[in-house]
Amino acid sequence: MYKYIIKGGKPLEGEVEISGAKNAAVAIIPAALLVDGVCRIENIPQISDVTMLLNILKRMGASIRTVDRHTMDIDCSGVTSTDADFDMMRRIRASYYLIGALLGRFGKATVAMPGGCNFGGVRPIDQHVKGFAAMGATVEVRNGLVCADTPDGHLHGCEIYLDVVSVGATINLMLAAVFAQGTTVIENVAKEPHIVDVANFLNSMGADIRGAGTNVIKVRGVQKLRGGFYSIIPDQIEAGTYMAAVAGTGGDLLIKNVIPKHMNCISGKLEEMGVVIEEGEDCLLVRRHGPLRRTNVKTQPYPGFPTDMQPQLSTILCLAQGTSIVTEGVWDNRYKYVDELLKMGAAVRVDGRVAIIEGVQGLTGAPIKAYDLRAGAAMVIAGLCASGTTEIEGIEYIERGYEDIVEKLQNVGADIQCVDIPEAQEDEDIQRIG
């Protein structure tokens, strides 16, 4: 077990390179199950969620060869099992993509119920199930397993209207529909950049998917996908996290390997707060030298302000002049981290999906915890901005989605270390929880 120790108060200066998008990678890797042949995938982020998914595919019989740190050859032609009931699957949310991919390829799937970040409530998959059922599958949840089957071994094209805009359901139904007989039309879909990326990946292997990035996706079933080469887009949320970090600490940061258009929803808010952002072709120069100003924000599906940036933005709003109102429009309960900010001197009141944030002069270092991936990133930002020393436990959440976060921050002047938690202290924590 490890924790981060941050000595805050240093402006960030220099360059940081953004990795491949986590939420694209965790869909594209299971999507390789649909491909007959080798997929060479580039720009794969080195994060624990990806490692876990690659291990799951290996256990199912896939052959995976590392070309370099961010490039893999994945060949799933040898996979015969439709069963993915592994303990590791219960730890990641994206394991739900194995349902769509297996169902699409074999007409059946038995997959452990997905886990992942817990925002305090249930994370339902009813829209995924509704779509699979409309395509002719029977889907049951038994003993923590999602069991899906088709009477004739095939899914059938149909029209599906999603009742809520869901990233996971959009991608999962796209995966399932690739080999369905006829055309599948999915309406009211999510439009996040990673949805377009998954569609581009599948199309580059021979699928016929149109409309990704709009409200309606049409998938015409094809017979076969063949191997090929694909490079994953840069991670919008990782880039946004570094933008929020330099907005909080002050300084000048060149953020490289981004698609600036994907960042507009985040850049706009930061500019309202007094951050200066210059756009290059595939980079952003982010500067903050004056005071941070208050703003209001509501999280929404893309192209709205992303929920996965809400904790990071709320954290820097704690240091802005005036009162800000943050409304969480996607998840029911995504403010668990606020208690940690209060320990550092923040002034935040949460009422349901709304947080009212009174700007304070400064935060002070404290021992705090990461309760989920983005909340963990927000705690790192809080530590970088605070005076004194902040110790963050629960960093395994952060490492699920941020490649080399410690090294990347050290390179731009942050005083952050990853240190072992002595066993005696771990035992004490376990006893306290027990």
Contacts of residue 60, defined as CB under 8 A and 6 or more positions apart, other chains included, come to 33, 76, 79, 81, 84
Which residue has the CB atom at the shortest distance from ligand EPU? Answer: 168
Task: Please state the φ and ψ torsions of residue 57, each to the nearest 5 degrees.
Answer: -60, -40
SS3 assignment, position 84: strand
Give the nearer residue to ligand EPU in terms of CB position, either 320 or 381: 381
Q: Strand 63-68 relative to strand 83-84: parallel, antiparallel, unpaired? A: unpaired
Task: Respond yes or no: is residue 117 known to be catalytic.
Answer: yes
Q: Which of 21, 25, 34 is nearest to 208 (CA)?
A: 34
Distance CA 394, CA 37 (A): 39
- DSSP 8-class letter at 163: S
Give the nearer residue to ligand EPU in terms of CB position, either 209 or 377: 377
Considering the candidates 39, 76, 117, 147, report the single residue annotated as catalytic: 117
Q: How far is the CB of 426 from ligand EPU (least distance, A)?
A: 26
Q: Strand 296-298 relative to strand 35-42: parallel, antiparallel, unpaired? A: unpaired
Q: How many CB atoms lie within 10 A of CB 152?
A: 9
Q: How far is the CB of 164 from ligand EPU (least distance, A)?
A: 4
Distance CA 217, CA 194 (A): 14
Q: How far is the CB of 372 from ligand EPU (least distance, A)?
A: 7
Distance CA 218, CA 71 (A): 30
Q: How far is the CB of 375 from ligand EPU (least distance, A)?
A: 9
Give the nearer residue to ligand EPU in terms of CB position, either 131 or 206: 131
Give the nearer residue to ligand EPU in terms of CB position, either 23 or 390: 23
Task: Specify whether the CB–CB gap between 43 and 231 falls below 8 A.
Answer: yes
- DSSP 8-class letter at 366: -
Q: How far is the CB of 167 from ligand EPU (least distance, A)?
A: 4
Distance CA 374, CA 111 (A): 26
Give the nearer residue to ligand EPU in terms of CB position, either 331 or 362: 331
Give the nearer residue to ligand EPU in terms of CB position, either 94 or 346: 94
* Unique residue bearing structure tokens 């409530």: 121
* Unique residue bearing structure tokens 């982020």: 45
Q: How far is the CB of 24 from ligand EPU (least distance, A)?
A: 8
* Unique residue bearing structure tokens 């002034």: 347
Distance CA 339, CA 349 (A): 10
Residue ranges in contact with ligand EPU by CB under 6 A:
23, 26, 93-94, 117, 123-128, 164, 166-169, 190, 307-308, 330-331, 373-374, 401
Active-site amino acid positions: 117
